[in-house]
Amino acid sequence: MKDYITLFILRHHRISRKVCKLGLNETKEIIFERVRPFAEGRNIESDIFDSAATVEKLCLMSGGDIHNLLQLAQESVNNSDDLPISAQAVQRAITKARDTYRRTVQNHEWEILAEVFLSKQVFDEEPYRSLLLRRCLLEYFDSESEIKQWYDVYPLIQKIPEFKEHLAKLEQFEQVKEFEAQILAYELMYGDYERQEDDRDDDCDDDCDENW
């Protein structure tokens, strides 16, 4: 049995990474249920938090992980002297959690995280299992998508400079590989064209010899 959990999908797997409204609403509901007993009759998106955007940011930064979500929410409360909880209080909670994750990731793991961010896949090997257990990598399952199971980097980590540096290097490397593949395909195509031209020239020479 694995020790990590499948999460609410907050962003779609595809390159656009558009927000998944269903997953976002489910995550918001977790917060609503937690505060409802203490805030009966109050609007969570204006009375408890200062705006809907603040609640949405809190949810998105959790990656759909309930444990992370509640930790960020509690830290946001700790940063607030009064209601509503401000965007600044939520940002301080995010910054603190991000710094904790930055210290958690080892130097050799940044490249692994960048690779998973691009491929959305993991291997059944210790480095990947360790990152999953530490919630640096998150697992998602989408019954409505062609790609049923996929992985992503915890959103808080995606803004850490070390991660962004390794991701930029990997993306540049992938672009070079793609360019080299295009050149190779062109050379193969051009080589076939030249061979066809040579064959036609040889046929023409044979015909001319016969006519002569």
Per the model's pLDDT, the better-predicted residue between 23 and 109 turns out to be 109
User: CA–CA separation, 70 vs 104, rounded Å?
Assistant: 20
pLDDT at 102 over 60: yes
pLDDT at residue 202 greater than cutoff 70: no
Q: What are phi and psi of 49, to 5 degrees?
A: -110, 160
Per-residue model confidence (pLDDT) at position 13: 52
As a whole number, mean pLDDT of residues 16-40 equals 78
Q: Output the pLDDT for position 6.
A: 45
Task: Report the mean per-residue pLDDT for the chain.
Answer: 79
Residue 126 pLDDT > 50, yes or no? Answer: yes
